[in-house]
Amino acid sequence: MLPMKNTPDSPVNSQASTSQHVRISQLEIPLSEVAAQIGGRASPDQHLKSWIAVHCGITEDDVLSYTIRRRSVDARRKPHIRLIYSVEAVVRERCPIREDAQTQVCTPEPEHTHWLYHL
């Protein structure tokens, strides 16, 4: 798992007992739908929560937070330009996640203060 900032007041640490981590490697979003959704007023990165929920098959309220690991633009088919994201999301525990080749449910990195960390 990629290293994440794990400070005592970080959302990752405070949600560790009630959440699960999901890694999505190819979250594809059509640029035309992003433009219609945000209306040119904000960054498309701020509206990924709904797309993550649709991709995982859960409700938007179940997505607690997310971190963008990589973003790119696929412009190989000019009228159908897509934004491609690699995302790590924190979702509610016991949510049924739809897993496929691009979606993995991960266990979070253990805290450094845990008594088994040195093993």
**Phi-psi map region of 94: left, alpha, beta (phi>0 left; psi -120 to 50 alpha):** left
Looking at the predicted structure, is the pLDDT value of residue 9 above 50? Answer: no
Query: E strands within 41-81?
Result: 63-74
Whether residue 4 lies inside any domain: the answer is no
Looking at the predicted structure, is the pLDDT value of residue 16 above 90? Answer: no
CATH of the domain at 96: 3.30.70.2700
Whether residue 81 lies inside any domain: the answer is yes
Q: What's the pTM value of the predicted model, to 2 decimals?
A: 0.69
Q: Which residue range is the domain that position 73 belongs to? A: 14-106
Q: Which residues pair with 100 in a beta bridge?
A: 103
Segment 66-84, tens digit of pLDDT: 999 999 999 998 888 899 9
d(CA 43, CA 88): 18
> Residue 85: what pLDDT?
93
d(CA 43, CA 2): 25
> Residue 13: what pLDDT?
44
Number of structural domains the chain divides into: 1
Whether residue 115 lies inside any domain: the answer is no
Whether residue 25 lies inside any domain: the answer is yes
Whether residue 60 lies inside any domain: the answer is yes
